[in-house]
Amino acid sequence: MTRVIKVAALAGDGIGPEVVPIAVAVLRTALAEVGAALEVQEALVGGCAIDQAGEPLPEETLAACRAADAVLLGAVGGPQWEDRPMDQRPEKGLLGLRSNLELFANLRPALLFPPLAQASSLKPELVSGLDILIVRELTGGIYFGEPRGIFFEDNERVGVNTYKYAEHEIERIARVAFDLAAKRQGRLCSVDKANVLEATDLWREVVSGLADEYPQVALSHMYVDNAGMQLVRAPKQFDVMVTGNMFGDILSDVAAMLTGSLGMLPSASLAADGFGLYEPVHGSAPDIAGQDAANPLATVLSAAMMCRYSLDLPAVAARIEEAVDGVLRRGLRTADILGGGEQDGMEQIGTKAMGEALLAEIESGAEGAGS
Ligand code: NAD
């Protein structure tokens, strides 16, 4: 019987409606190769939802996400909504999705495609073959801890935020990271600041306490300041890194830049049952929206992550990633990854042409496999 995969597609704003349909088409084609069918439910989120439904996260959108096997999101936001009060901004749609769907584990791979080694700010030999996965806790820590605010104390204002993690929050994110490390190179580095912050002392204790259950994973610990340094000194030493919300926010952006371009970076946000929301790391890029200039590869690679982490179809994920590698090897580039102009057999193409090249790549791979 044909497996039918249900995906909620939330294109959002700016370049979202340009890149999401490409990722959907690539996903549909790659799934068809393994005899699976794709059923897509489109829904509104962000600025377009404010304009068309009066709020950034309409109830129908949440319902569509809950009814799906996974969610594919483009991006939200744009200058036309920036003057609105905080709780009526497009970003509220994204935060609402994370909290309502209990997406506590954020996965940010930093993977360098060999043809793009020159695009990194580090020397090619430091980054070639780079394949790091940062697992960031997404729904706790100092971004959510109470008390928080600006208060009066001794006749002056004091700003307060609270770094707080309960054991169960640490344990569930650590288990996600151990499981992922077990499926990769078997190395997990937990990042904390246990020499200064008691909350992260507990973090280290809880993570260490799980290590015996994962004998196939080599666990190490690193202070966050050193981790930042090591990421730009010798990034290939890392396989999987796990850390709290704030440290993960910072380190994942550092790791991201090792790979060169925002237009190449996918992400996943997972719930406890493997349900996930998949989206490019970049925003809605209003400066290039509607110009057929956006790089769709980050969204396409997000769809590949969906196959790997929510749909249990790693071969389909690999097929999509190979197609991305294939078009890059053929010299096809959107402007953001061209690196200063056409040269050495590279060709600048638009968003749609990149989508067509990917589909052709997948289809030709399937023909090759069959022959
Ligand atoms: P951005 O990521 O949208 O753009 C930063 C720069 O990178 C721009 O010059 C843009 O043209 C370029 N860029 C981004 N994605 C690209 C792609 N796929 N191909 C080629 N170039 C690309 O960040 P920003 O400009 O700070 O924010 C723009 C809007 O997006 C804001 O409203 C912001 O709030 C929102 N935003 C949303 C998300 C999200 O939805 N997850 C994330 C970040 C920013």
Q: What residue owns the CA closest to ligand 1's atom 36? A: 283
Active-site residue flag, 193: yes
Angle between helices 224-233 and 245-258 (to 10 degrees): 10
Is 179 considered catalytic here?
Answer: no
pLDDT at 118: 78
In the block, residue with structure tokens 């499926």: 183
Any ligand 1 atom below 6 A from CB of 319: no
**pLDDT of amino acid 370:** 42
Q: What are phi and psi of 17, to 5 degrees?
A: -65, -10
- 225 annotated active-site: yes
Report which secondary-structure segment, H or E, holds 24: helix 16-33
Ligand 1 contact, 77 CB (< 6 A): yes
State which of 45, 71, 116, 262 you would mutate to test the pocket of ligand 1, scoring each by most atoms of that ligand within 8 A of its C-beta.
262
Ligand 1 atom closest to the Cα of residue 336 is 20
CA-proximal residue: ligand 1, atom 43 (nearest): 283
Could you tell me if the CB of 285 is within 6 A of ligand 1? yes
- Which position among 13, 69, 239, 249 bears the catalytic label? 249
How many Å lie between the centroid of ligand 1 and the Cα of residue 121? Answer: 19
Choosing from 92, 163, 192, 193, which is the catalytic residue?
193
Q: How far apart are CA 94 and CA 287, in angstroms?
A: 21
- Look at residue 180 and give its three-state secondary structure: helix
Global pTM value:
0.92
Q: Tell me the C-alpha distance between 309 and 199, whole Å.
A: 29
User: For residue 340, what pLDDT is reported?
Assistant: 61
Q: Is ligand 1 within 6 A of the CB of residue 56? A: no
Tell me how far apart the alpha carbons of residues 314 and 310 are, in angstroms, rounded to a whole number: 10
**Residue to mutate (ligand 1; options 19, 73, 257, 282; most atoms within 8 A of CB):** 282
Rounded CA separation 161/150 (Å): 9
Cα angle 329-334-337, degrees, rounded to a multiple of 5:
70
> What spacing in Å lies between the alpha carbon of 296 and ligand 1's midpoint?
13
Tokens linked to 318: 């690999």
Q: What is the distance between the alpha carbons of residues 305 and 291, in angstroms, rounded to a whole number?
A: 27
CA of 250 to the centre of ligand 1 (A): 17
pLDDT reported for residue 356: 98
For ligand 1, the distance from its centroid to the CA atom of residue 281, given in whole angstroms, is 8
Q: How far is the CA of 279 from the centre of ligand 1 (A)?
A: 12
Rounded CA Rg of the chain: 21
Q: What is the pLDDT along the chain (371 residues), one digit of tens a residue?
A: 799 999 999 999 999 999 999 999 999 999 999 999 999 999 999 999 999 999 999 999 999 999 999 999 999 999 999 999 877 899 999 989 998 999 999 999 999 988 888 778 888 889 988 999 999 999 999 988 999 999 999 999 999 999 999 999 999 999 999 999 999 999 999 999 999 999 999 999 999 999 999 999 999 999 999 999 999 999 999 999 999 999 999 999 888 888 877 899 999 999 998 899 999 999 999 999 999 999 999 999 999 999 999 999 999 999 999 999 999 999 999 999 887 655 678 899 999 999 999 999 999 876 654 43
For residue 366, the model assigns a pLDDT of 63
Task: Say whether the peptide bond before residue 85 is cis (omega within 30 degrees of 0).
Answer: no
Which pLDDT score, from 0 to 100, does residue 371 have? Answer: 39
